[in-house]
Amino acid sequence: MSMETPLYEGKAKSVYQTQNPDELRVVFRNDMTAFNGVKHDQFENKGRFNATASEFFMRLLEEKGVSTHFINRPDPDTMIVKKLQMIPLEVIVRNVAAGSMVKKYPIQEGTVLNPPVVAIDYKDDERGDPMINDEIIFALGILNPEELGAVKKAALRINEILSVFFDEYGIRLVDFKLEFGKAKGAIILGDEISMDSMRLWDKRTGESFDKDVYRFEKGDVMTAYRRVLERIIPGFGG
Ligand SMILES: Nc1ncnc2c1ncn2[C@@H]1O[C@H](COP(=O)(O)OP(=O)(O)OP(=O)(O)O)[C@@H](O)[C@H]1O
Ligand SMILES: [Mg+2]
């Protein structure tokens, strides 16, 4: 627990300014929420599991030439990141129909989406994160066409890298959510890549390894999160 006042306290992470004006400290808390905060609990290890996953995937992306905000992880639940001017969009990439896509549209859960579907929500809890489109993004002055093109291209590239990676470990990357920000004009991946932000299914059994275990009470959610890390990180003991 920190005595400092956070710059921002979200539903799962707390963000602090560091001594360096260009860097932030993001603490992944043990809070778990679903259905826009209606369901709320705390789970031991949750913060460090998601911080561990975020470091792992952001390093993987950096190796493949994708710019991310990740700098280092000084504590199990804490990342130092590049401070970004966040773009208020949730960029969702879907490889398989599930979740809200199945709830909102006439498509059966499990339908393979090829090519993958990119959908963008306007990030605003009070408005219920409404879906947005290119024209509304331009009208609101959130991004210009060139920037939006860069965001979508990055999202699809990230999908390619993560899908191939998970496939090798017997996991299907069903869908995931990204948040981007700007620093000195460049578009950079921010926020997190974790079991909170991805939907992951066991390729063999179809079992969920993500927040759906919590949302729909499919079992012990921290066991599910731990199993992802044990599969993909050599020597992950925690
Ligand atoms: N590099 C960064 N620079 C500045 N802000 C960031 C950076 N990375 C992430 N953020 C922001 O920090 C906050 C992280 O907190 P958290 O994810 O818990 O909150 P939230 O997004 O408001 O709620 P939730 O994700 O649960 O809907 C988010 O507002 C996110 O957009
Ligand atoms: Mg968030």
* Per-residue pLDDT tens over the stretch 50-86: 999 999 999 999 999 999 999 999 999 999 999 999 9
Q: Is the pLDDT of residue 125 over 80?
A: yes
Nearest to 90, CA basis, from 153, 179, 217, 155: 179
Local confidence band at 141 (pLDDT 50, 70, 90 cut-offs): very high
Query: How many angstroms does the Cα of residue 108 sit away from the middle of ligand 1?
Result: 31
| Torsion angle (degrees, nearest 10) of CA 149, 150, 156, 160 | 150
pLDDT at 37: 83
CATH number of 8-82: 3.30.200.20
pLDDT at 1: 54
Read off the DSSP letter of residue 86: E
Q: How far, in Å, CA of 30 to CA of 214, rounded?
A: 13
| Contacts of residue 89, Cβ cutoff 8 Å, sequence gap at least 6 | 120, 121, 122, 123, 132, 137, 142, 143, 151, 179, 180
Please check whether residue 176 is in contact with residue 197, taking contact to mean a CB–CB distance below 8 angstroms. yes
Residue-range domain boundaries for the chain: 8-82, 85-220
Return the beta strands (E) in the chain as ranges: 8-9, 13-17, 23-28, 31-34, 39-42, 70-75, 78-82, 85-86, 89-96, 112-122, 131-132, 171-178, 180-183, 186-189, 198-202
Nearest CA to ligand 1 atom 11: 191
Q: How far, in Å, CA of 147 to CA of 99, rounded?
A: 28
For the record, the structure tokens of 212 come out as 């759906």
CATH 3.30.470.20 is held by the domain 85-220: yes
Q: Is the pLDDT of residue 36 over 90?
A: no
Q: Is the pLDDT of residue 182 over 60?
A: yes
15 pocket-lining for ligand 1 (C-beta < 6 Å):
yes
64 pocket-lining for ligand 1 (C-beta < 6 Å):
no
46 pocket-lining for ligand 1 (C-beta < 6 Å):
no
Q: What angle do CA 227, 102, 215 make, to 5 degrees?
A: 40
pLDDT at 14: 98
47 pocket-lining for ligand 1 (C-beta < 6 Å):
no
* Residue given tokens 């947005």 in the structure block: 132
DSSP-derived 3-state class of residue 234: coil
Question: What backbone phi and psi angles, to 5 degrees, belong to 152?
Answer: -65, -40
Proximal ligand: closest to the CA of 123: 1
DSSP 113-145: EEEEEEEEEE--GGGT--EE-HHHHHHTTS--H
Question: Mean of the pLDDT values across residues 190-206?
Answer: 98
